[in-house]
Structure 1
Amino acid sequence: MTKELKRYSREEIAKVRGQDEEDLWQHNKPDDLWIIIDSYVYNLSDFVDAHPGGEAVLLMDDIAGQDVTETFFGLHAMEVLLKPMAQKMIIGQVEGEEPSVHYPKVGELSKVPYAEPAWLVEHFHSPYYTESHRRFQKAMRVFCEEHVFPVAEACEANGKRPDIELVKLMGENGLNAMRLGPGKHLRGRKLFGDVKPEEFDYFHEMIITQELSRCGLRGFMDALQGGMVIGLPPVINFGSDEMKKEIVEPVFRGEKFISLAITEAFAGSDVMGLRTFAQKTEDGQHYIVNGTKKWITNGHFADYFTTAVRTEEGFAVLLIPRSLGVQTRQIHTSYSTTAGTAFVMFNNIKVPAKYLIGEDGMGIPIILSNFNHERWVMCCGTIRGARGILEILMKWIHQRKVFGRPLTSQAVVRQKMAFLLAQAEAAQSYLEHLTYQMNKMSYREQSKYLAGPLAFLKAWSTRVSHEVADNAVQIMGGRGLTRTGMGRKIENYNRNYKYDAVLGGTEEVLADLGIRQSFRFFPNDVKL
């Protein structure tokens, strides 16, 4: 609050109640309606007709002309008071009083217990994070709150793809390249947060994903270059120099977009069951591709498709430009259309052989090569997303009263929160443990030793999400089912959390993968 405000004394008002024209308690009529919220005096006279709850609510005896701080925070989120319309209604402040509610500043850490991962909490320590990580987190949080979250909210409302200018801004700052993890693609780049390419590691990348996930909008997280994160690595790791020169930098700059096209109506987690076929021409210069792909993230606005196909040699991966005649149709799923989830059609698409990624017949190893990283990224977002919901619930149970007492007085609510918070903490710890292993292992070692643990982590973290989503609705009640107001992020989460339990391998498939991986290392000479 920067403008000079008139001060009103509560004692003075009480003494002259009903006599002085400045008496706050007199302002309780439709054309003359004031209230107090957190020491500020609001003139609602011009807002009565526009109030979403109707005129009658504002004219209640315990609302009109009264201090309604407790009532307000039992019905509305603090963000309502920060909107320009609400700020314009402020005409004064109670003399000798200051706001009792903390209004967060851009980039600051939450003061709510367990709202932040332990490594960000004062008095707690971690062996994993360096000063570079801490500086980077601070810069990333400011960037997200200033540039990303406003776009996320707008896209969630209108269902449109993320603003191109935001993607380009991330490209200018090196963030698009950084989202693919450490590697040779970062050499010589200027990275966001003054991180040197040689010091950038998976914890830096985790910070990017977890800070972005704080927007609380799962559809937008996929929309914001989700296709690039999983579709570009095969090109970088197995594509020809000519291919990489054509698309890598344009994608990193936000000028072109790419999707990973593996899943089909015929084959989801069963990659070996895909039917899209690429017939090589007699002269060997082209592949004729026929088939369809389904549920392709960013597919509706992608310029390139990293496509898994069958060939006469077995399986292959082709980079197929949309310009060759690829058609897409948007799929309307339970989360926002901003992700551009698409049904992709390849009808006699003539693809030059130069767009073959790696070798014909080596498609399966190429397809599998990025699964560990993809699943790890999903775990980063899933686990941080659950924590964001728990922060909302912690605030809610402290300000909501039922039967004359706050929700914190209900033993059943305390028990629910205890188990949910413990699971969130455990999930983050498991994630940090595996992230540390990724930093210490070569790519080949990761493929051998971490496929099982990462499969376990993803399957378990989405079970945690399930518990969080279910209990969040029970604790929030009707608000948890409403797309606007205090519970809108709970409703959004409950509608979207299942994506991570299906995408990148279902819980059941990954749990089985994890246990089968453990069997591979079971010693033959051990008996009960």
Structure 2
Amino acid sequence: MADKVIDQVLGGSFVIADLDYERVVTPDDLTEEQRMIAETTSDFVDGEVLPVDDELEKLDYDLTVKLMRKAGELGLLGADVPEAYDGLGLDKVSSALISENLAKASSFALSVGAHVGIGTLPIVYFGSEAQKKKYLPDLASGAKIAAYCLTEPSSGSDALGAKTTARLTEDGEHYVLNGTKQFITNAGFADVFIVYAKVDGKDFSTFIVERTMPGVSVGPEEKKMGIKGSSTRPLILEDVKVPAENLLWQVGKGHLIAFNILNIGRFKLAVGCLGAAKEAIGLSAKYANERAQFGRPISSFPLVGKKLAEMNIRTYALESMVYRTAGLMDDGLGGIDHASPDAGVQSAKAIAEYAIECSINKVFGSETLDFVADEGVQLHGGYGFIQEYKIERIYRDSRINRIFEGTNEINRLLIPGTLVKRAMKGELPLLQKAQALQSELLQLVPGQTFEGTLEEETHLLSMAKKIFLMAGGSAVQTYQTKLEEEQETLSHLADIMIQIYAMESALLRTKKLIAKKGEEKAAAPIAMTRVFVRESFAGIEALAKEILAAVATGDTLRTQLSVLKKLTRQSPLHTIQLKREIASSVIQSEQYVC
């Protein structure tokens, strides 16, 4: 059923095509330069940020800005800014390494992330030459700080329902902006705001607004559950006269800017979740070794080890997904002439190719961190509820990630929705694959045996893709144009896609490690991959049953469930023993292991 991808890997193609492990970028492939970038970031956080962590958490604007400028001096703010505008113009893998290693800086990492990502990239990708020359050097150095202003009091996920307006003056020299933006990160100290407004109340557009423009003000700081060291305030615009040349790209193209920027924002959010999850594992393993109960360290109890193993396994899958996705973006960006006038727009388009993968990373990353943080608190017991222990803050800070950059519910609707749209446009042969599957399912021969390492897991991945096509095809056939109204079914399809991408990412990474190091040195990744694939596959089976029960009845349902039973046959796996082995490595090293 699945085809080998020869040229560029198309976004969303992972559900219908196989990929050779040699095509996948993993964190085990880093160059010396990339390792130095990661080390520089980590050293900056350890040496400059963590010593003043308490002050930052009390919302010290001046200290935050001072540290951001130090980060700018090291090049940590200019990774995604082209060299022509005093940035570093790094690849996405290197950029991801910066984001991951900043994560232990907590709220400060969010301040930096909002600035370098959604705050700066709209100008990088969609700014005119004059706008880039005016703003990007200062944004790359930290001389100016950026903020992104999309959400409003009455519109969050429904961004196009925004009420902020822009009116062109009679002389054509200014746009007059009026409205309020809500929950704006960095609003307390930002110099540059990327603001979305409707020209004449209808054409959704984007503007570069400066803090010093008359009529710009901010409301009070929000009293938040977590990320307390980051500034979050409303932005208020009252008859703000914005020069016409500060219109970003074109009138009416604001939605394209917003959606393209959200793609990279979602990806970077997942990278930050990865860094935080690794820190939580380290804190929890160290505490488990130090905390004694019943005369021995709690790390010696199997249920404690089980938690640490499961935290590590999910984080391994997330790490595999994140760097695979970064590699896909780098491949897509590789063919662009970055000296051309439309290089920015072409870059945004190349990243948009992987909009599905970005949403998948966001959902899986935020939910993985929530799981890891929650288990981390549990392992700390009562101390996990005390602010003196950082796991308490990680737990509080993690919760916003399922809301940021489009809620996970919205992203779950986007994942299969975008896939279907791509298929309808002829960009992916999804419908053809689903139709071809029908005859193949009738010829299934059960009872295969598997002897090689990860052979059965590879087979289960292939079956998972068939299950998706079967369940998705049945849903499309039943609901047709009304499929978008069946949000529960779409969410289940999204979860199957998420698990397939995670399973495949971990599997391909581990196969690459085996080829490079041999099975003995890849023992931990092999164990984690076997457990993750088996447990994910069981989840896929349950989701598929719910979908089929929703779209079929009677003999049709019985037939489909019979086919599903054939697709989901697998041999039992001693996951308890494998998790004990993984836990032993985590406990011994007191950190995330891979």
Deviations 1:454-488 (A, max 9, x none): 1011101111112112212211111111111xx2x
How far apart are 1:506 and its partner, in Å?
0.8
Aligned position for 1:202 = 92
Letter in 2 for 1:465: L
Distance 1:369 1:401 in 2: 50
Query: Which of 376, 382, 385 matches 1:478?
Result: 382
Of the three residues 93, 101, 108, the one matched with 1:211 is 101
Matches within 5 A, 1:396-435: 396-435=287-326
Map of 1:162-201 to 2, 5 A cutoff?
162-178=63-79, 181=80, 185-187=82-84, 189=86, 200-201=90-91
Q: State the partner residue of 1:318.
A: 207
Q: Distance in 2 between matches of 1:289 and 1:350?
A: 7
User: C-alpha offsets along residues 162-182 of structure 1, whole Å, 9 cap, x if unaligned?
Assistant: 44332222222322111xx2x
RMSD across aligned positions (CA): 2.2
1:266 aligns with 154
Query: Superposed, which structure 2 residues align to 1:321-360 within 5 Å?
Result: 321-324=210-213, 325-329=215-219, 330-360=221-251
Q: Does residue 1:146 correspond to 2:47, yes or no?
A: yes
Q: CA separation in 2, counterparts of 1:320 and 1:153?
A: 32
CA distance in structure 1 between the aligned counterparts of 2:148 and 2:396, rounded to whole angstroms: 24
Residue type matched to 2:218 in 1? T
Q: CA deviation at 1:243?
A: 2.8
What secondary structure sits across from 1:287 in the alignment?
Answer: strand
1:308 positional shift: 0.5
- Give the 3-state SS of the residue equivalent to 1:147 in structure 2: helix
- Any idea what the Cα deviations from partners look like across 1:285-327, whole Å, max 9, x if unmatched? 2222111100100012112211001113611101111212211
Q: Indicate conservation of the 8 Å contact 1:159/1:337, yes or no.
A: no
Once the two structures are TM-superposed, the CA of residue 188 in structure 1 deviates from its matched residue by 7.8
Instruction: Provide the identity percentage.
Output: 26
Q: Map of 1:55-94 to 2, 5 A cutoff?
A: none
Long gaps (5+) in structure 1:
1-124, 192-196
Q: TM (normalized to structure 2)?
A: 0.62
Query: Relative contact order (C-alpha < 8 Å, sep 6+): which is higher?
Result: 2
Deviation per CA, 1:152-208: give whole Å up to 9, x if none. 343124554544332222222322111xx2x6x2248585xxxxx5xx311211111
More helix by share: 2
Cα distance, 1:127 vs structure 2:
5.5
Task: State the alpha-carbon separation in 1 of the partners of residues 85 and 406 from structure 2.
Answer: 35
CA distance in 1, matches of 2:139, 2:208: 14
Q: Does the alignment pair 1:450 with 2:354?
A: yes
Quote how far apart the aligned CAs of 1:427 are. 0.6
CA distance in 2, matches of 1:469, 1:127: 25
What residue ranges of structure 2 are gaps of 5+ in the alignment?
1-25, 334-346, 424-428, 439-594
Structure 1 residues 75-114: Cα deviation after superposition (integer angstroms, max 9, x where no partner): xxxxxxxxxxxxxxxxxxxxxxxxxxxxxxxxxxxxxxxx
Distance 1:160 1:402 in 2: 43
Indicate conservation of the 8 Å contact 1:316/1:360, yes or no.
yes
Q: Distance in 2 between matches of 1:277 and 1:343?
A: 16
Does the alignment pair 1:497 with 2:398?
yes
Give distance in 2, aligned partners of 1:394 and 1:127. Answer: 23
- TM-score, normalised to structure 1, is 0.69
In the alignment, which residue of structure 2 is the partner of 1:436?
327
1:523 is matched with 430
Deviates more, 1:380-389 or 1:226-235: 226-235
Cα 1:444–1:160 shift into 2, 3 Å: closer
1:309/1:166 Cα in 2 relative to 1: closer, same or farther (>3 Å)?
Answer: same
Q: 1:229: which partner in 2?
A: 117
Distance 1:281 1:157, change over 3 A: closer
Q: Which residue of 1 aligns with 2:141?
A: 253
Larger Rg: 1
Contact 2:369/2:398, CA 8 A, preserved across alignment: yes
Q: 2: distance between equivalents of 1:301 and 1:471? A: 35
Structure 2: distance between partners of 1:404 and 1:435? 47
Equivalent position amino acid for 1:253 in 2: S
**Secondary structure of 2:324 counterpart:** helix
Residues 414 and 338 of structure 1: is their aligned pair in 2 closer, same or farther, counting only changes over 3 Å?
closer
Specify which structure has the higher proportion of strand: 1
Q: Cα–Cα, structure 1 residues 190 and 282, in superposed 2: closer, same or farther, change >3 Å?
A: closer
- Evaluate the alpha carbon distance shift between residue 452 and residue 380 of structure 1 in structure 2; reply closer, same or farther with a 3 A threshold: same
Q: Of the candidates 367, 379, 386, which is equivalent to residue 258 of structure 2? A: 367
- Amino acid corresponding to residue 173 of structure 1 in structure 2: L
Q: Does the 8 Å contact 1:318/1:356 carry over to 2?
A: yes
Amino acid at match of 2:328: Q
1:293 to 2:169 alignment: no
SS in 2 for 1:259: strand
CA distance in 2, matches of 1:337, 1:396: 25
Alignment partner of 1:367: what SS? Answer: helix
Determine the C-alpha separation between the residues in 2 that align with 1:373 and 1:326. Answer: 28
What does residue range 387-398 of structure 1 map to in structure 2 within 5 Å? 387-398=278-289
Contact 1:285 1:353 in 2 (8 A): yes
Distance 1:423 1:316 in 2: 40
Pick closer, same or farther for the CA change 1:153–1:202 going to 2, 3 Å.
farther
**Aligned AA (1:470):** D
Choose the corresponding residue for 2:172, options 275, 284, 305.
Answer: 284
Aligned residues: 388
Q: Answer whether contact 1:160 1:337 (CA < 8 A) is retained.
A: no
SS at match of 2:322: helix
